[in-house]
Amino acid sequence: MALMNPNKALWEKGDFTEIAAVMRESGEVLVKSLGLTPPLQVLDLGCGDGTTAVPLAQLGADVVGIDIARNLVEAGNKRAAEAGLSRLRFQEGDACHLEGVDDHSFDLTLSVFGAMFAPKPFDVAREMVRVTKPGGRIVMGNWIPNDLTSFVSQLLKISSWFTPPPPEGFVSPMTWGMESHLVERFGRAGVPRENISMVKDTFYFISPDISPSEFIESFRQFYGPTMNAFEAAQKEGKAEELNRQLVESANAQNKSSDGSTSIPATFLRVTVSL
């Protein structure tokens, strides 16, 4: 029997489409802000069910969405078919090793909170550079560690207090939100420092239909990393304490005053010019 890939298992465990449903507005805003003029070949890496891949294709780009989770690839292809987007296809693949993807295939490689979750960051940087055309660009959206203004940073930090330490050699995905790591990783892939720019940007989780505590409940039920944190906390009899802290954080960050959810999350927007 083939060995289970824990990175794949983590993202197939839940159903990220339930979280992505509250990320659509910011996905569209981010795509519009890229200033793209098709024709363009675009790779959306760690694309989920197409929060950015769908609006990219709606702009007229030819888009390949690659994701490690089979269920999300299926969900993405269903959304593309329903929207009649023949220029968009989703396929399974691993950001650490983009098997079957030719060198210099894409004008833009985009990865919004996607490739940062792959376990071998140096391989990821090398692969993103390899598949992007010279003269093209890589754009990443990465969560920032210990950022008090980022709901997701807080969610992952609180969750880590309730989870056993990761195995030796584990590299935190949050390191993709740190300048020194970005420069080192892309540097090893042959990109000079002056070709890398970083700015802080904000993503919003928006739903008129759910409260912040229902929003946390959807993470508890559907978001692999949070599901794992709750399982670990449950074993220690601390699941309700974890829930309390997450709801408190979501309420504190919520900008909506009518009981619905509008939670901002700061992230690092990284642009690499090749």
What is the spatial distance between Cα 204 and Cα 217, in angstroms, rounded to a whole number?
A: 18
Out of 57, 59, 68, 80, which residue is the one contacting ligand SAM (CB under 6 A)? 68
Q: Is 11 in the site for ligand SAM (CB under 6 A)?
A: yes
Determine the interface stretch with ligand SAM among 108-116, 192-200, 214-222, 248-256 (rule: CB under 6 A).
108-116
CB of 128 to ligand SAM, least distance (A): 11
Token representation of residue 152: 């997701």
Out of 14, 20, 76, 270, which residue is the one contacting ligand SAM (CB under 6 A)? 20
- Tell me if 76 sits within 8 A of 53, measured CB to CB: yes
Residue in the shown chain whose Cβ atom is closest to ligand SAM: 48
- Tell me if 68 sits within 8 A of 90, measured CB to CB: no
Q: Is 176 in the site for ligand SAM (CB under 6 A)?
A: no
Determine the interface stretch with ligand SAM among 66-74, 100-108, 186-194, 204-212 (rule: CB under 6 A).
66-74
Q: Is 54 in the site for ligand SAM (CB under 6 A)?
A: no
Smaller CB separation from ligand SAM, 230 or 267 = 267
Smaller CB separation from ligand SAM, 55 or 114 = 114
What is the spatial distance between Cα 147 and Cα 118, in angstroms, rounded to a whole number?
A: 21
Out of 22, 47, 88, 156, which residue is the one contacting ligand SAM (CB under 6 A)? 47
Q: Is 30 in the site for ligand SAM (CB under 6 A)?
A: no
CB of 65 to ligand SAM, least distance (A): 9
- Tell me if 269 sits within 8 A of 200, measured CB to CB: yes
Q: H-type helices in the chain, by residue range? A: 6-13, 17-20, 24-32, 53-58, 70-82, 121-131, 151-161, 179-188, 212-222, 224-235, 239-253
Of the chain, the end-to-end C-alpha distance in Å amounts to: 41
Q: Which helix (H) or strand (E) holds 62?
A: strand 62-67
The footprint of ligand SAM on residues 117-156 (CB under 6 A) is: 117-118
Q: What is the DSSP letter of 151?
A: H
CB of 15 to ligand SAM, least distance (A): 11
- Tell me if 41 sits within 8 A of 105, measured CB to CB: yes
What is the spatial distance between Cα 151 and Cα 111, in angstroms, rounded to a whole number?
A: 19
Out of 43, 69, 75, 265, which residue is the one contacting ligand SAM (CB under 6 A)? 69
Binding footprint of ligand SAM on the chain (CB under 6 A)? 7, 11, 16, 20, 23, 46-48, 51, 67-69, 72, 94-96, 112-114, 117-118
